A and B are shown apart, each in its own frame.
Chain A
Amino acid sequence: MAGAAGTPLPPQPNKAAPLYQKRIKIYPKRVSGLFRNVKWVVMLITLGIYYITPWLRWDRGPSAPDQAVLLDLPNRRFYIFFIEIWPQEIYYLTGLLILSALALFLVTSLFGRVWCGYACPQTVWTDLFIWVERLVQGDRNKRMRLDKAPWRLEKIAKKSITHGIWLVISVATGGAWVFYFADAPTLLSDLLQGDAPMAAYIAIAALSFTTYSLGGLMREQVCTYMCPWPRIQGAMFDADTYLVSYKADRGEPRGPHKQGESWEGRGDCIDCKACVTVCPVGIDIRDGPQLECIQCALCVDACNEIMDRVDRPRGLIDYETLAMPQARAEGRETRPKLLRGRTIIYGLSILLTMAIMAYGLLTRSDLDLSVQQDRNPLYVLLSDGGVRNGYQLKIINKAHEERNFIIAIKGLDGYELSRPNHQGPVDVVSVGPDAQKTIRLYVALPKEGLNASRFRDGEAQIRIMLRQEDDQASGDLGDSARPVLASQNIGFRTPPQR
């Protein structure tokens, strides 16, 4: 962008590019202003959510955990407040991820890298670590001086305090993570007594290491070199996306300005480099939109401070679309265009995904039945000339109490049920709370029943139905009775050529 109208550089001797580049250390300067305040608030909220959530309780009755958010991997259950997800319902999680992705797309096409600038954990923790660094070592200039200073007691003390606090924060971060996967109070006491599972200690160590190294040491290198998201975002901006931009038309030609001097014939930028010194990725926003820019808008705050001081209007650096400078040059009015093709499509997709998920969650049954017909053998001829088919029933009881179900077959008359190694009434199956049960069910039909017109090509379509045992309302489970659940249509086979 910067060189869009730039003059070609004079030809230079073609030296081989260096293989690697030494990292230039960045010392972001303190800044205050609207966007800095927004960032503090977002940091408080996101860190608060992260650290506090595992400690919230949610009553689910005696047979289920009372942790509001619990990803119970050994028992394969995800609890998220009123939602309880079984492994086969993992698509709710997929829906949540799709929703997050779409929301990210929408926000990005409207306001650029809002995620990167404010909410991304990498940004939040880096911000926190820079705050600690500033608290212990002082602001930009003091830190630069300290780094240049020889290793004396003061430097050693300040550096080790900084890293010490970083480590504490890192361990707390890794520590909070594991509480999402087990009952938090129990795990905490186990962790302190040293009896927590090895996996918990490993997870804490791994996350502490990544938090410390990514937030404390790697910082902007993560955003610039490791993260794929900056690359993808280029495809989501358009001419109407609000991006942190320097108004070159207003700022140039830049140059130092003494108090009392006229502003005639020059730009508003006094070349104080305040915008550069506060930038956490160490770039100059006046060079135009850049891959490295996480759009944290701290340079906006910094420049506004300067503009106030030199008594020029704020907003030399501001959220602006690419179309705006062009419109200004042509003397046109610009109005924000928030409703555009892509934002409408993203918005509608979000609504659609939310509607589908809400529908799924609201109609989610606490009972599930799947039936599989035996394939080998397909049918068994019995000594009385009748036929028997075998089925595997999987009944999932997602309720938090034990339930008894009565099994009946719809579509056959005069059938007989049997179950191997089963004691008690053959048609009653009890499934424990929050459990699934697999049973084998044999359905025999005597010879007389085989000639019914239901059989086509030796096969009848039947349904296996469940009724709750204490539900007297539906009476005898015949074809007309109302079951709590009916299986899909399934075959009952007889020998060919009957």
Chain B
Amino acid sequence: MSKAPDKDELTGIDTTGHDWDGITELDNPLPRWWLYMFYASIVIAILGWIWYPSWPIWVGEWTYSKGIAGFSKRAEVTAELQRVAEGREVYYQQIREQPLEAVINDPQLLRISMAGGAAAFGDNCAACHGSGAQGFVGFPNLNDDAWLWGGTLSDIYQTLQHGIRWEADYETRLSVMQGYLADQILTRNEVSDVVDYVLSFHDQAEDEAAVARGQVTFEQICSACHGADAKGMKELGAPNLTDAIWLYGGDRATIYETVANGRAGVMPAWAGRLDDATIKQLAIYVHSLGGGQDEAN
């Protein structure tokens, strides 16, 4: 509630006229230094407008008063990023020059590689392999210990550099899992028998006779790439058919589909698209996800 300013009876000081349930506010004068500081802050604000960019201005399009100091936050950020990149370059140079084994044995380079690899993975790889590298149907999970083309540091590095079935790169990893039914190499029954034989590795085959027939076909055709023991061959990117990991699925229908129509997953070659230091960092990062194999194996 506001009343007309009045004089307070006890103190003889004017009130502001503001009254809350009988409590009134005294209009005491400010201390002089306080008032002068208030004026000074107004002056400083105006100097700030002149010194720094501040007011939006319309000159046919929106711009702003630039300020006489030539200050720009954007330029500051750019310079800052530039400084960071320059500081990083020292280490990136070392990563480029040194073999992968040496990089992971240098604690500082390893730390940088893990951080850089994680960031580059999120930017480039996560679209297909998932942000946790957990993979999707047709895109392998990079956390597990099954590798089509090998899981050592140098295997992973090579895959990253040249990709898989990436035509633009003549060193790309190449292999063919053709469609044996589609290409009329096998009949429906023969395909079905081979599927039975593959399922028998997992104790899921139902028909003993079919398994026996499938085995004959497998040894004639499939073993060329997948090996006589069906454990795969990393030189050919041929998966181990006896383990628990399936890229497309391990049920009868999916395996039938795979044998009948073939599979040909593609991964881009990253050499030339990414800095070699970044590719090495990615190799180190992926190798550390839990399934990385030692060079000796």
A residues in contact (CB < 8 Å) with B: 2-3, 6, 8-9, 11-12, 14-23, 218, 221, 225, 374-377, 380-385, 388, 390, 418, 420-421, 440, 442, 447
* Distance of B92 from chain A, by nearest CB (Å): 19
Q: Are B290 and A225 in contact (CB under 8 A)?
A: no
Q: Are B29 and A18 in contact (CB under 8 A)?
A: yes
Interface status of B30 (Cβ within 8 A of chain A): yes
Q: Are B141 and A383 in contact (CB under 8 A)?
A: no
* Distance of A448 from chain B, by nearest CB (Å): 13
Q: Are B30 and A384 in contact (CB under 8 A)?
A: no
Q: Are A420 and B244 in contact (CB under 8 A)?
A: no
Contact residues of B between 233 and 260, Cβ < 8 Å to A:
240, 243-245
Q: Are A377 and B243 in contact (CB under 8 A)?
A: no
- Given A20-B29, A23-B31, 4 more A-B residue pairs with CB atoms under 8 Å apart are A20-B34, A380-B143, A382-B245, A383-B144
**Contact partners of A385 in chain B: CB under 8 A:** 243-244
**Contact partners of A14 in chain B: CB under 8 A:** 5-7, 14
Cα–Cα distance between A14 and B13 once the two chains are bound (Å) = 10
Q: Are B14 and A383 in contact (CB under 8 A)?
A: no
Q: What are 27 pairs between A and B in contact, CB < 8 Å?
A: A2-B10, A3-B9, A6-B10, A11-B7, A16-B14, A18-B29, A19-B29, A20-B32, A20-B35, A21-B30, A23-B31, A221-B31, A377-B130, A377-B133, A377-B141, A377-B143, A380-B134, A380-B291, A381-B245, A382-B144, A383-B240, A383-B244, A384-B243, A390-B143, A420-B292, A442-B290, A447-B244
Q: Are B32 and A21 in contact (CB under 8 A)?
A: yes
Interface status of B145 (Cβ within 8 A of chain A): yes
**Contact partners of A17 in chain B: CB under 8 A:** 13-14, 27-29
**Contact partners of A376 in chain B: CB under 8 A:** 130-132, 134
Cα–Cα distance between A333 and B126 once the two chains are bound (Å) = 84
B residues in contact (CB < 8 Å) with A: 5-7, 9-14, 27-35, 104, 110, 130-134, 141, 143-146, 240, 243-245, 284, 287-292
In order of increasing CB-CB distance, the 9 nearest A-B pairs are A376-B132, A420-B288, A383-B243, A377-B134, A21-B29, A3-B10, A385-B244, A380-B143, A20-B35
Q: Are B290 and A420 in contact (CB under 8 A)?
A: yes
**Contact partners of B30 in chain A: CB under 8 A:** 19-21
* Distance of A447 from chain B, by nearest CB (Å): 8
Most buried by B among A2, A8, A12, A382: A382
In the complex, residue of chain B having the shortest beta-carbon distance to the beta carbon of A12? B7
Also in contact, A21 and B244, with CB within 8 A (given A377-B134, A380-B290): no
Cα–Cα distance between A176 and B288 once the two chains are bound (Å) = 50
* Distance of A220 from chain B, by nearest CB (Å): 11
In the complex, residue of chain A having the shortest beta-carbon distance to the beta carbon of B147? A383
* Distance of B156 from chain A, by nearest CB (Å): 13
Cα–Cα distance between A23 and B14 once the two chains are bound (Å) = 19
In the complex, residue of chain B having the shortest beta-carbon distance to the beta carbon of A21? B29
* Distance of B235 from chain A, by nearest CB (Å): 18
**Contact partners of B33 in chain A: CB under 8 A:** 23, 218, 221
Q: Are B290 and A388 in contact (CB under 8 A)?
A: yes
**Contact partners of A8 in chain B: CB under 8 A:** 9
Interface residue from A12, A15, A380, A447 paired with B144 (Cβ < 8 Å): A380
Q: Are B289 and A420 in contact (CB under 8 A)?
A: yes
**Contact partners of A374 in chain B: CB under 8 A:** 132
Q: Are B141 and A380 in contact (CB under 8 A)?
A: yes
Q: Are B7 and A19 in contact (CB under 8 A)?
A: no
**Contact partners of A11 in chain B: CB under 8 A:** 7
Cα–Cα distance between A22 and B33 once the two chains are bound (Å) = 8
Interface residue from A15, A21, A442 paired with B31 (Cβ < 8 Å): A21
Cα–Cα distance between A164 and B11 once the two chains are bound (Å) = 41
Also in contact, A9 and B9, with CB within 8 A (given A383-B243, A390-B290, A420-B287): yes
Interface residue from A15, A22, A375, A382 paired with B145 (Cβ < 8 Å): A382
Q: Are A421 and B134 in contact (CB under 8 A)?
A: no
Cα–Cα distance between A6 and B104 once the two chains are bound (Å) = 87
